[in-house]
Structure 1
Amino acid sequence: MTRQVDRRTLSLQLLPMSVPDTPPVGQAGLATWGAVADTGTAPLPGLGLCPGEVAELLVRLEYQGDQPLPYQLQVSGNFPRSWYNLHTEGSELHSSHATEAVVRFRPEADFFEARQTLAPEQTLPLDFQGEVRAYQLSSAGQPGELMAREPFHLFLRPRSLYPQFLPAVYREVDFIGRFLKIFEQSFEPAVQTFQSLWAYLDPLTAPEALLPFLAQWVGWHNEATWSVAQQRSLIRRAMEIYRWRGTRRGLQLYLHLYTGLSLHDPTRSDLQQPIQIHTASQQGFVLGETDLGPMAILGGGKPLHFRVKLCPARGQFLDETLVRSIIEQEKPAVCTYDLEIVPIEEATHA
């Protein structure tokens, strides 16, 4: 059998951790919930909620009995069950020892946006009523006698910035804050975009959908095989690539941005660098330096010729066709070249 406990030995108090910014209109009409009436002069606890944000209601229990009391807390109300979670400390109350529990509320972030269009006679409820109840647990672990109960209110409001620019007398009116939120939702996205306009014009931070516009702005042609990170780097440094077009430095920079290979690795020798561009040093037939005779050979050299050697890490894929198109675009028209792509391990032993 479950022993009877005097209800007067248990007190329950609710402490809202966030209160409404403005007193909601009609709060006096919400002074009762179920069979419990607010007969005192103090108003019922009111917790302010914002969609997508966490608000806490602290539950404080004080027990004055002479023996430990097994208990259970329950939360009920006309709000969705998915809005809250109850966190308690143990399952027993001890004499002269305050125990605290927390009810964490978090309405869905799209509470207002997900609602369907309301008919003229319909309204969207923003004020809710609830109650915290403390039960004595039976020997079987089931809720038994109701020991204490305390009602509370929930006031769901969107987060609004505009009321802070009004005189205090207007900020106290709940309707004005909700009315200004309509204009805030229309104007604030444009204001935020204007304040961060620089981020939309920088290829490294701009939205992916804006990259084709930025590429066209600097006259850059994006290849379909390039990754988003490659597109951002190449568009951002397009003017620098244009400035050095036709030079070894320009070609090396372009290949570095596309392949991700280092421009220069100080830990490696010149013949082991990730990107190598060497000018051919052979000479062909030069009058005044070659004797004509049976063993003379005409030709044997390539004027204006250079050699490109790329040494990616093993497993890194480089599109040879795209690399050749980059070289053809950057080199002077009269130059010829050879391309060699060798993984770094093979290049080390070469």
Structure 2
Amino acid sequence: MTQSRSSPAVRIQLTPMQIPEALPVGGLTFASTENMDAASCSLLLHPGHPSEMIVHVENFKSRPLQVNLSVEGNFPSEWCQIITDGNEIAPNKKMDVSLYFSIPDTFFEDQEAINSGKKDKLTLNFRSLVTVHIDQGTDNEEIHRSEYFDLYIRPYTAYMEFLPILYREIDFIGRFMKIFEQAFQPIIDSYNVMWANLDPLTSPQALLPFMAHWVAWQVDSVWDLQQQRRLIRRAVELYRWRGTRKGLRLYLHLYTGLPLDEHLPNEADKHISITEPFGPSFIIGDAQIGNAVLAGGQAYHFVVRLRSNISSGIINEQLIQRIIEQEKPAFCTYELTIENPPS
């Protein structure tokens, strides 16, 4: 925290919210007490990451003061935004004003000074001060200025956290470590998200044919992208349950998006219903001529009924038949009923 010049009317104090650990000095000079004091009144800025300087204005007079703040410095004015709750300070009270600094995240890329053929150096250090106008526009107008404070623009580097505190206090090492971070961090980031490239639900579209080959799944253009992702991801499970009611229901669920309704005990109430039409078997004494059926129904026959909804859309009947023919045992017969939502 730093204090402004003495003033009979007000006192201005500055509190940076992000203090630089190192100051730009020549060579590998380690931090001294003077450098630490200078750093405490400076503000560190990272492109793309906002930072704040809090301005405390204390009123020493016995009457309320109307104050207006402005920021002066050798940096673009759009970098700083003044945020305050009001303009009046009660007698012997204090008002806090926030200077919100925001540097474009493309600061280093957009600098014309680093283009080829330029001899100018890239400016990373700026100076600024706060000007307080008291009772502006009246005969009692006063102007008070704070002490100068420095703005240091540095690229953010997480690699500094791996160094001892002694080396973090050297500005050159921070910028030097950023070179290694830009070179190696993309490789580390790719390794950290490798799992997403190996999951069909999140992998790039170009990798889907390769992943389908892993599980011997034939990619068909009739399926949209999301259906292909779900089918490839659960291909092994479909192989395991092929020829069963569970496997057919799972396949139809992945295509149509209809719920499995595993919590419903009654098969006929499910959105994907697969039933076997068994009737009462032949019972002596209860049978009537013309309606007695031996074995109670048609052998190896099942009925598939799909109850669509608005969210799932219209179901392609030909594709459903193709799925059933592929998944059912060869000796089975079936009936298909699709209840599409009314248009």
The TM-score with structure 1 as length reference comes to 0.76
Match of 2:303 in 1: 307
Query: More displaced, 266-275 or 187-196?
Result: 266-275
Q: 1:228 to 1:157 in 2, by over 3 A?
A: farther
Correspondence list, 1:1-350, <5 A: 7-25=7-25, 43=38, 45-115=41-111, 118-119=115-116, 121-138=119-136, 145-208=142-205, 210-224=207-221, 226=223, 228-267=225-264, 269-279=266-276, 304-314=300-310, 316-317=312-313, 318-343=315-340
The CA deviation at 1:130 is 1.7
The CA deviation at 1:334 is 4.7
| Structure 2 Cα separation of the partners of residues 307 and 143 of structure 1 | 93
| Structure 2 Cα separation of the partners of residues 136 and 201 of structure 1 | 64
C-alpha contact 2:201 2:229 (8 A) present in aligned 1:
yes
The CA deviation at 1:269 is 3.1
Query: 5+ residue gaps in structure 2?
Result: 1-5, 27-35, 280-296
The CA deviation at 1:7 is 4.9
| Structure 2 Cα separation of the partners of residues 209 and 64 of structure 1 | 69
Match of 1:37 in 2: none
Tell me the C-alpha RMSD between the 2 structures: 3.2
Deviations 1:262-289 (A, max 9, x none): 223545732222112234669xxxxxxx
AA aligned opposite 2:126? F
Q: 1:341 to 1:81 in 2, by over 3 A?
A: farther
The CA deviation at 1:48 is 0.6
C-alpha contact 2:49 2:105 (8 A) present in aligned 1:
yes
| Structure 2 Cα separation of the partners of residues 150 and 260 of structure 1 | 66
The CA deviation at 1:239 is 0.5
The CA deviation at 1:243 is 1.7
| Structure 1 Cα separation of the partners of residues 75 and 319 of structure 2 | 60
AA aligned opposite 2:108? F
| Structure 1 Cα separation of the partners of residues 228 and 209 of structure 2 | 9
| Structure 1 Cα separation of the partners of residues 207 and 69 of structure 2 | 53
AA aligned opposite 1:278? T
The CA deviation at 1:86 is 0.9
The CA deviation at 1:227 is 5.1
C-alpha contact 1:86 1:101 (8 A) present in aligned 2:
yes
The CA deviation at 1:16 is 0.4
The TM-score with structure 2 as length reference comes to 0.77
| Structure 2 Cα separation of the partners of residues 103 and 209 of structure 1 | 47
Q: 1:327 to 1:113 in 2, by over 3 A?
A: farther
Query: 5+ residue gaps in structure 1?
Result: 1-5, 27-40, 283-300, 346-350
Q: What's the secondary structure of 2:107's corresponding residue? A: coil
| Structure 2 Cα separation of the partners of residues 145 and 223 of structure 1 | 79
Query: More displaced, 126-135 or 336-345?
Result: 336-345
| Structure 2 Cα separation of the partners of residues 132 and 258 of structure 1 | 65
Deviations 1:91-116 (A, max 9, x none): 11222111111111121223334456
The CA deviation at 1:150 is 3.2
AA aligned opposite 2:129? E
Percentage of pairs with the same residue:
42
| Structure 2 Cα separation of the partners of residues 88 and 69 of structure 1 | 15
C-alpha contact 2:65 2:90 (8 A) present in aligned 1:
yes
| Structure 2 Cα separation of the partners of residues 183 and 122 of structure 1 | 25
C-alpha contact 1:135 1:143 (8 A) present in aligned 2:
no
C-alpha contact 1:61 1:98 (8 A) present in aligned 2:
yes
AA aligned opposite 2:74? N
The CA deviation at 1:313 is 2.2
Q: What's the secondary structure of 1:43's corresponding residue? A: helix
| Structure 2 Cα separation of the partners of residues 278 and 143 of structure 1 | 93
Q: 1:204 to 1:179 in 2, by over 3 A?
A: same
The CA deviation at 1:73 is 0.4
Q: 1:166 to 1:7 in 2, by over 3 A?
A: closer
Q: 1:179 to 1:280 in 2, by over 3 A?
A: same
Q: 1:82 to 1:325 in 2, by over 3 A?
A: farther
